[in-house]
């Protein structure tokens, strides 16, 4: 099985373990009519995911335009760009800030253009501290977090790590 396909299945199973009904879209990469590699639903929350993997173990370059393309095909679903490094334990997600309902503490801000280069060290720090990174690109804001925390923030308005602390 191709590496990119294994990565899509990894995301699908990850979402199913969180209680989502998730489906992989097999023709998403070649179709002009269908975008998004995975479509998932849990209750009222519907998401569409564009999966990006890399064989690089230390850095990845993300084209934020992919998220804008996905948004055009989302039809009411929340578009999320999901990525990870080769053989890395964490999955990361990027979503437009407008889908986040609450203020997130521990935010690191990064100015970027269309492309953003992210290193494994920075992303691991974000994952381990349950924080996030705000990406500012051409007047739009995006939020990058470890995927499980990102889904919790979108769904419930709070990071799992911070629950019960007032």
Does the residue 36 lie in any domain?
Answer: yes
Does the residue 113 lie in any domain?
Answer: yes
Quick one: pLDDT at residue 14?
95
Does the residue 163 lie in any domain?
Answer: no
Quick one: pLDDT at residue 73?
85
Asked if the model's pLDDT at residue 166 lies above 60, the reply is: no
Domain that holds residue 65: 3-156
Q: What is the mean pLDDT of the chain?
A: 82
Asked if the model's pLDDT at residue 31 lies above 60, the reply is: no
Domain count, the chain: 1
Instruction: Give me the helices (H) in the chain, please.
Output: 3-17, 65-72, 120-128, 147-156
DSSP state of 8: H
Backbone angles phi, psi at 3, to 5 degrees: -60, -45
Quick one: pLDDT at residue 105?
60
Does the residue 164 lie in any domain?
Answer: no
Strands (E), the chain: 21-24, 38-42, 45-53, 59-63, 78-84, 92-96, 107-112, 115-119, 132-137, 140-146
Does the residue 133 lie in any domain?
Answer: yes
Quick one: pLDDT at residue 1?
55
CATH code: domain of residue 111: 3.40.1350.10
Give residue 6's region: left, alpha or beta (phi > 0; psi -120 to 50).
alpha
Does the residue 162 lie in any domain?
Answer: no
């Amino acid at each position: 099985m191709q590496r990119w396909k294994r990565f899509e299945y990894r995301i699908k199973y990850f979402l199913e373990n969180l209680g989502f009904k998730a489906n992989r879209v097999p023709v998403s990469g070649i179709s002009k009519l269908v975008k998004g590699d995975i479509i998932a639903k849990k209750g009222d929350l519907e998401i569409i995911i564009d999966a990006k993997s890399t064989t690089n173990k230390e850095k990845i370059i993300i084209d934020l335009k992919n998220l804008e393309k996905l948004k055009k095909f989302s039809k009411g679903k929340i578009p999320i760009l999901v990525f990870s490094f080769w053989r890395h334990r964490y999955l990361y997600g990027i979503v437009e800030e407008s889908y986040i309902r609450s203020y997130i503490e521990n935010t690191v801000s990064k100015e970027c253009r269309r492309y953003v280069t992210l290193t494994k060290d920075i992303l691991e720090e974000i994952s381990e501290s349950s924080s996030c990174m705000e990406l500012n690109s051409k007047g739009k804001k995006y939020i990058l977090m470890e995927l499980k925390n990102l889904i919790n923030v979108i769904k419930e308005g709070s990071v799992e790590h911070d629950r019960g602390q007032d």
